[in-house]
Amino acid sequence: MSVATRSVSRRKAPNWLPYLLISPTLIIVLVFTAWPTVQAIYMSFFRQYLNIAKFRTPTFIGLRNYKELFTSPDFLQVLKNTTIYVLGTVPASIVLAFLFALLVNRAVKGIGLARLGFFYPTILPMVSAATIWMFFFTPDYGLFNTFLETFGYHGPENWLGNPHLALLAVMIVAIWKNAGYLMIFYLAGLQNLPEDVFEAASLDGASWWTQLWKIAFPLLRRTTLFVSTIAIIDAFQVVDHIFVMTQGGPSGASTVLLYYLWQVRFEDLNVGLASALTVVLIIIMLSITVTNFVLSEREGA
Amino acid sequence: MISAKLRKRLTAVFLNLLTALLALGWASIIIWAIVVSFRPSSEPLGRGDVWFGHTLTFANYLKAWSLAPFGIYYRNTIIIVGMILIAQLITITLAGFAFAHQEFWGKKGIFFFILLQLMIPAAALLVPNFATIRKLGLFDTTLAVALPYFGSAFGTFLMRQAFLEVPRDLVDAGIMDGCSWWQLLWHIYLPPSVPTLVAFALSSITWHWNEFLWPLVVTLTNRSRPLTIGLVRFTQLGEIGARWPLLAAATITVIAPLFLLFLVFQRQFIRSFLHSGLK
């Protein structure tokens, strides 16, 4: 191949240099990605409670952890919550991201400020954002209900303490946090679209709306695929706001998968069940990334 | 009939209004927090009275700092973010160089193996990684928070891409001049790749400054707790309750440095985050 390769391989001694160069990265991936994956699978076949003396040492119990998991009403509730959470936050953030991108992709004075307004949540720690949102959800004088009242809403006041609204509340925060981040990908996509596409459409008298949905959105299909993947993975791995706002409650109403995993391991101290949950989460994550990979290959990425 | 020109005008006005309203709504979170953090805590918030008080005061910040050791949290966050950044810049440069410039047995397989880190996010591996940290005797240290991130598949991938763009002639010329591998890396590969390193660095700093769940699990005392954990503990202090000015001040304390950095280098940040998604 290259001169470099030849000059290096001319030496008879085996070339250990590249292995040395990649070894730090390789070791980290081995120790903190590959090994824990194997360990989680292994430990998921054992019973181990750290808070019960006689179950402190792991005992092999086969698939019992999985059986317990899939018959436990708690877990089924968590699966349901997680599904609602993902199916709710992902499309909502994507639609908003696309709308924001269209709005700020216009040459208007002060548009930079609007872009800043949409994007800044990306760089805030989720726990800080959630702390401020707690105030917005405060009953009586919180800004969220005040805002809703201007639209005629007079429903329940206490969002975070209401089993029907707590999950929705944490979803709203996630959507608020993510939309601006996803926006920048659409913005980049829009700016890469050939301008004459829009010009030709305008000459044909196509309305702004038509231009949008019939021309821009289909052309940005690859961006949408990509943005969906990021959004879905994010929905599974960010639960920080739940720690601040609801602690998964009331009575499990806002508990999603990763939060539940944390509870099982660090509150119930049930290592075996937590390992089985880890395996479930790994399988979900892997299927998302692999699906994205296959789809984007097909799209000719 | 409305003329086409007028219609276009009206559409533009409508879109401007919509943009302004949405952006203000989105920004109201941070604007409220900043405003209220300067409101005297002697003036409790009430219905229709949740913004400015009668005077501006800095007392909430002083009070927040006296109630929790934010100085120590700051130190820990800076140590963690700094350790990760330095380690990552070194490991991704070296690995990226190996994958871009050198041929060796198992190259493709190892590269794919490293990409595993992108397919299984660290958050999912919380439980077994916690066990590893305990076994290594690192529990409740800043190193425990930082160590799993010392290698980055994504950074390696980015650097490899950047290095592959360096013109072949330049590299060959360097080889002709008898450059050693590190001279090649330092003088030929690295200079044009600095923007990629900067982009990676900004998203790495942001990500780790903001991280919560992993530090929650591997820290126990103030000797290792970062700002995010400190803030959540602060909000749960008994004496805080619903004293929003105090909470707002604490929140702004945690956000401030990164937020100011972001305001100054907005463009670079957005570029960095665009990069960070391009997996």
Domain boundaries, chain A: 66-298
pLDDT exceeds cutoff 70 at B127:
yes
The answer to whether position B40 is within a domain reads no
**Confidence at B51, pLDDT banded by 50, 70, 90:** confident
Three-state SS at B273? helix
Q: What confidence score (pLDDT) does residue A9 get?
A: 46
- Interface pTM, i.e. ipTM: 0.92
Indicate whether B18 belongs to any domain: no
List the single best residue of A7, A27, A33 to mutate versus B (max B Cβ within 10 A). Answer: A33
* Cis amide linkage into residue A58, ω under 30° from 0: no
- Do A9 and B103 count as a contact with CB atoms less than 8 A apart? yes
State the average pLDDT over residues A25-54: 94
Residue A55 — very low, low, confident or very high, per pLDDT cuts 50/70/90? confident
* DSSP bridge pairs for A46: A60
Nearest alpha carbon to residue B188 among B86, B93, B92 = B93
In a domain, B29, yes or no: no
The pLDDT of residue B271 is above 80: yes
Q: What percent of chain B is modeled with pLDDT above 70? A: 96
Element (H, E) at B263: helix B244-264
pLDDT tens digits along B134-150: 999 999 999 999 999 99
Question: What are the CA-CA distances from residue B61 to residues A17, A239, B241, B252, B256 (Å)?
Answer: 53, 28, 16, 9, 12
Interface A-B, measured as beta-carbon pairs within 8 A, has a size of 282
**Closest Cα to residue A176, out of A88, A234, A96?**
A96
User: Is B36 domain-assigned?
Assistant: no
- Give residue A202's pLDDT: 66
Residue with tokens 């920080």: A240
Full domain range(s) for residue B125: 63-277
Say what the pTM is.
Answer: 0.91
Inter-chain CB proximity A32 and B125 less than 8 Å: yes
Rounded to a whole number of angstroms, the distance from the CA of A164 to the nearest CA of chain B is 23
Is the pLDDT at A301 greater than 50? The verdict is no
Q: Nearest by CB to B119, which of A31, A32, A285?
A: A285
Nearest CB partner across the interface for B47, out of A9, A141, A185: A141
Number of domains in chain B: 1
- Output the pLDDT for position A219: 85
Residue A5 above 70 pLDDT? Answer: no
Read off the pLDDT of each residue in B223-230 and give the average, rounded to a whole number.
Answer: 96
> What CATH class is the domain A66-298?
mainly alpha
Averaged pLDDT score across all residues of chain A: 88
Distance of CA B26 to the CA centre of its chain: 20
